[in-house]
Structures are given as C-alpha cells and as structure tokens.
C-alpha cells in the first residue's frame, strides 16, 4: 500500500524572522505546495496568515490560497481549522464552508504554552456534523490518549464516518511528549481499519517520522513541524524537508501515493 505524504508548509506560530523561507502569503504557500506536489506530496495541510504574518481564518484569504493551489496542481487540500493562537473557534469553524477536501478537527481544548487552544465540546460536535454534511473529511488531531477517546465517542454518536483518519501530534506544548514510547502506545490504542500519521513537532520530528513510517503510518513534512533540516541548520524552504521524507520512504521500499490513490486510501467523500 503506498504511503500518503502530506506537506505542511506553514504552521500557526513561526514567522519569517524564525526562518526567512517560511511561506506566508497565499502566493508563497501555493508555490511551496506546488513544489512539494511535484516532488511527491499528495496532501497539502494549510494554515493562513494575514499581511502581518499573524494566523487568520479570513475566508477570502483561504479561498484565494485554495484557488491558487488548484490552478497549479491536483494535490488534495486539507485546511487547518486549528488556525492558530488568538483566533476564535467560531471563526475557525467557518473555514469548512469553503469545502476543502479535508480539514482538521481538534477534539479537545488544551493549554498550549501561554494560550488556550479552545475546542469546546458543543462546538466540536457542531463542526463534526457540518463537515459530514459538506463531505469534508476530518483529519482528527490527537495530542493525548483522551483526545483519541473523545474521537471514538464522536464516531459512536455517528458524527464521524469510517475510516477514521488520525494525526498523532507529539512534542507540541501541552500535548504528549515526542518519544518513541508514546508513539508506540498511541498506535497500539488505535482501533483497526484507521489511517494515521505522526506530526512530531521540533527536534524529534525526523526520528518519530522514521519510526511512524516503519510502523505503517503515513508521513508528513514541512516547516510547520520543524524549521530545521538538521541541528542548527535552517531548512531552506519546504522542499528539502519533503525530499528528506521521500528518501526515508524510498529507503524503506515504500511507494508514494498519488492524489488519486490518497483519495481512495482515505475514502474521501465525493464533493459536487
């Protein structure tokens, strides 16, 4: 079975002062996504920034970014509804109205460094139901074991369709630490028939990505997860990180999924 490579070109926090190669405008993000697609990525996980590089859930910015990407390549677009610090949940959830093929769904609130990542239970249920109505596939971001349990409860309530798609997020402030033990424990708790990848933030990103690939997970790469290619060396854009993930997969004799294959592996619901 081929592995799905997701590029995450820009996250919620870092700015160009942390890494000058970080894409922040719709144009720059679309350029980075196209490069990653040409290298082998089949999914693009997208965060948006305003002109001051602050995270935004502005619908016009999101639409423009999606349009620019679609003009360039057939990669599957996954919009982050996590967006970033200080953006209200009620603004974040509106992003799914643009009907990306996928969007993230964060099942629980958490304290992350000095801000509150707010995902209130009623809002999460409302968003899950709306995504189901719009045929937007949720990528379930679980930062701890309890987050997985909440997703399984939502599934039981009929708010999430099979097969469930998980991202095991590790090394983010307030979530589980990025250790091989934690990854093995989380994978062992996943129910059968789901798809998953690891999102390992920071310096353990490469090691945990390698372990996840060897365990049968999908793979994600990009400046959202790490700004560095190796210790003390900034990645000069997303492409070097994407190419490194591709090398890892190829060395493990894994093929990369095309967007069409990813669509079928993830069982994305068709959209009109």
Residue ranges binding Zn ion (CB under 5 A): 80
d(CA 79, CA 126): 17
For Zn ion, give the closer residue by CB, 154 or 201: 201
For Zn ion, give the closer residue by CB, 45 or 237: 45
d(CA 227, CA 198): 17
Distance of closest approach, residue 32 Cβ to Zn ion, in angstroms: 14
For Zn ion, give the closer residue by CB, 30 or 254: 30
d(CA 25, CA 180): 35
For Zn ion, give the closer residue by CB, 235 or 254: 235
Distance of closest approach, residue 72 Cβ to Zn ion, in angstroms: 21
For Zn ion, give the closer residue by CB, 222 or 259: 222
For Zn ion, give the closer residue by CB, 80 or 197: 80
Distance of closest approach, residue 251 Cβ to Zn ion, in angstroms: 26
Cβ atoms 248, 209 nearer than 8 A: yes
Q: How many CB atoms lie within 10 A of CB 209?
A: 25
Distance of closest approach, residue 46 Cβ to Zn ion, in angstroms: 8
- Residue 122, phi then psi, degrees to nearest 5: -65, -40
Distance of closest approach, residue 250 Cβ to Zn ion, in angstroms: 25
Distance of closest approach, residue 225 Cβ to Zn ion, in angstroms: 9
């Amino acid at each position: 079975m081929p592995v799905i490579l997701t590029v995450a070109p820009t996250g919620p926090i870092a700015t160009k002062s942390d890494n000058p190669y970080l894409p922040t405008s719709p144009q720059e993000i679309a350029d980075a996504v196209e490069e990653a697609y040409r290298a082998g990525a089949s999914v693009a996980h997208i965060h948006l920034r305003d002109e001051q590089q602050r995270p935004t859930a502005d619908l016009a910015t999101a639409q423009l970014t999606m349009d620019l990407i679609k003009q360039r390549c057939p990669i599957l677009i996954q919009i982050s509804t996590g967006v970033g610090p200080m953006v209200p949940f009620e603004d974040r959830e509106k992003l799914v109205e643009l009907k990306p093929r996928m969007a993230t769904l964060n099942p629980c609130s958490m304290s992350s460094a000095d801000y509150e990542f707010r995902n209130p239970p009623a809002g999460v249920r409302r968003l899950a139901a709306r995504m189901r109505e719009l045929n937007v596939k949720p990528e379930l971001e679980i930062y701890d074991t309890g987050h997985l349990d909440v997703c399984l409860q939502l599934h039981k309530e009929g708010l999430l369709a099979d097969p469930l798609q998980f991202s095991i997020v590790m090394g983010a402030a307030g979530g589980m630490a990025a250790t091989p033990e934690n990854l093995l424990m989380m994978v062992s708790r996943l129910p059968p028939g789901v798809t998953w990848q690891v999102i390992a933030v920071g310096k353990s990103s490469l090691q945990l990505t390698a372990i996840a690939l060897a365990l049968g997970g999908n793979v994600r790469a990009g400046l959202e997860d790490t700004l560095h290619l190796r210790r003390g060396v900034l990645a000069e854009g997303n492409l070097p990180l994407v190419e490194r993930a591709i090398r890892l997969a190829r060395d493990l004799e894994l093929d990369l999924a095309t967007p069409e294959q990813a669509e079928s592996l993830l069982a994305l619901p068709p959209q009109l």
